[in-house]
Amino acid sequence: MRTETTNIMRDARPPKRMRRQSSSLPENMNGISDGEIFSVRMSDKDFVRLSEFIRSSCGIKLPPAKKTMLEGRLRKRLRALSIRSFERYCEFLFSPDGSESEYIHMIDAVTTNKTDFFREPDHFDFLFERALPELVGLYGDGARKKFNVWSAACSTGEEPYTLAMVLSEFSQCCPGFGFSILATDISTAVLEKARSGIYEHDRVIPVPMELRKKYLLKSRKKETGLVRIAPELRNSVQFGRLNLQEEEYGINVPISILFCRNVLIYFDRPTQEKLLKRLSQHLMPGGYLFVGHSESLHGMDLPLVQTATTIYRKQQ
């Protein structure tokens, strides 16, 4: 997969609507104490403004019950900007000066990035034992044309690096098998962490020991307790920013395996269906879509057939 064929590497830009409004920089740049920041409350009006904007720009639904959560997550932005009220924060966010810089930070603050290596492990068993042999049977070993795998909503990288381990293992049983992994997310902060390929030792516990020995390197300074993804594995993954809510994804290579897990739950049903239609267009016939274990495509009009729990296949 060549990233020059995609538009995902461009800078995170706020929606045009934000860039038109009048300028309003934060007026008070003095530091804010812990006590002061925790007493700042979000009004219902500001919550509606922010939650509607978040839903329309990145699809994440925030019903009124999520107000306290949003308040908590955006307080760190108020503190970073030394802004003393959510009203002023909205003015700043929706101004041209604010929108250019703040949109990215706001998205980083409001997204939930929980992930793990080998999360929902039966997906990786299915991939190795069933999906990959079937795809090789259908399209050949990938020696001439690589298999393209996409981890949409990859968070801090554990999912695409798990895929890279499983695909590398498969290539050892299937000589000539070639693959390339694209990993995308809306949050620039998680992508930065993912690209570094460096994790706390506790994070890699779900990785089976024989794979740890092959694909993870211990830090030279043992006391840091950090591990690094081996360079060959890191080089098989290309990271880029992509908002699933955009009309065009700019990916023009056919995808054989698509992991879009634990992100649909943040969207409402019509948005889920719209995004899944768009995602399905990128899958090659016979290609597989994996969604999270609490996500369901039941009742949606999509060119996909269910083959196992939370695993779907594009019609051939």
Ligand X SMILES: C[S@@+](CC[C@H](N)C(=O)[O-])C[C@H]1O[C@@H](n2cnc3c(N)ncnc32)[C@H](O)[C@@H]1O
What positions carry a catalytic annotation?
73, 185
- 70 touching ligand X, by CB under 6 A: no
Q: Does 51 bind ligand X (CB under 6 A)?
A: no
| Of residues 148 and 184, the one with the C-beta less far from ligand X | 184
Nearest distance in Å: CB 84, ligand X: 28
313 in contact with ligand X (CB under 6 A): no
164 near ligand X, rule: CB under 6 A: no
User: Is residue 6 a contact residue for ligand X (CB under 6 A)?
Assistant: no
Which one of residues 42, 244, 255, 283 is an interface residue with ligand X (CB under 6 A)? Answer: 244
**Amino acid identity, position 23:** S
Determine how β-strand 255-260 pairs with β-strand 283-291.
parallel
Q: Does 243 bind ligand X (CB under 6 A)?
A: yes
- CB of 261 within 8 A of CB of 159? yes
- Measured from the CB atom, is 111 or 236 closer to ligand X? 111
The answer to the question of residue 155 lying near ligand X (CB under 6 A) is: yes
Stretch near ligand X under the rule CB under 6 A, chosen from 48-56, 65-73, 201-209, 259-267: 259-267
Min separation Cβ 280 and ligand X, Å:
16
Q: Are 280 and 314 in contact (CB under 8 A)?
A: yes
Whole-angstrom Cα distance, residue 265 to residue 285?
26
**Binders of ligand X: how many residues, by CB under 6 A?**
24
What does DSSP assign to residue 265? G
Stretch that binds ligand X, among 72-80, 216-224, 256-264, 295-303 (CB under 6 A): 256-264
CA distances from 177 to 88, 126, 168 (A): 55, 17, 9
Q: Which residue has the tokens 């698509």?
A: 258
61 class by beta-carbon count within 10 Å (0-12 exposed, 13-18 middle, 19+ buried): middle
Closest CB 191 distance from ligand X, rounded Å:
9
Q: Does 54 bind ligand X (CB under 6 A)?
A: no
Give yes or no for residue 58 binding ligand X (CB under 6 A): yes
| Residue 59 in tokens | 């699809």
Task: Give the residue with the Cβ less far from ligand X, 182 or 244.
Answer: 244
Q: Hey, how many other C-beta atoms are within 10 angstroms of the C-beta on 297? A: 18
- Minimum distance between the CB of residue 255 and ligand X, rounded to whole angstroms? 15
Closer Cβ to ligand X, 78 or 264, answer by number: 264
User: Could you give the C-alpha distances from 251 to 118, 134, 181, 237, 282, in angstroms and in order?
Assistant: 26, 24, 12, 15, 8
* Nearest residue (CB) to ligand X, 46 versus 159: 159
Q: Are 55 and 84 in contact (CB under 8 A)?
A: no
H/E element, 30:
none
Q: Does 261 bind ligand X (CB under 6 A)?
A: yes
73 CA to centre of own chain = 18
**Binding to ligand X in span 175-234, by CB under 6 A:** 185-187, 190
Alpha-helix runs per DSSP H in the chain: 16-19, 34-38, 44-58, 67-81, 86-93, 96-110, 122-126, 132-139, 158-173, 188-196, 209-215, 231-234, 269-282
Q: Which is nearer to ligand X, 193 or 214 (CB)?
A: 193
Does residue number 111 form part of the binding site for ligand X (CB under 6 A)? Answer: yes
Q: Which is nearer to ligand X, 190 or 253 (CB)?
A: 190
> Is 144 among the residues that bind ligand X (CB under 6 A)?
no
Question: Footprint of ligand X on this chain (CB under 6 A)?
Answer: 58-60, 111-115, 119, 153, 155, 159, 185-187, 190, 243-245, 261-263, 266, 292
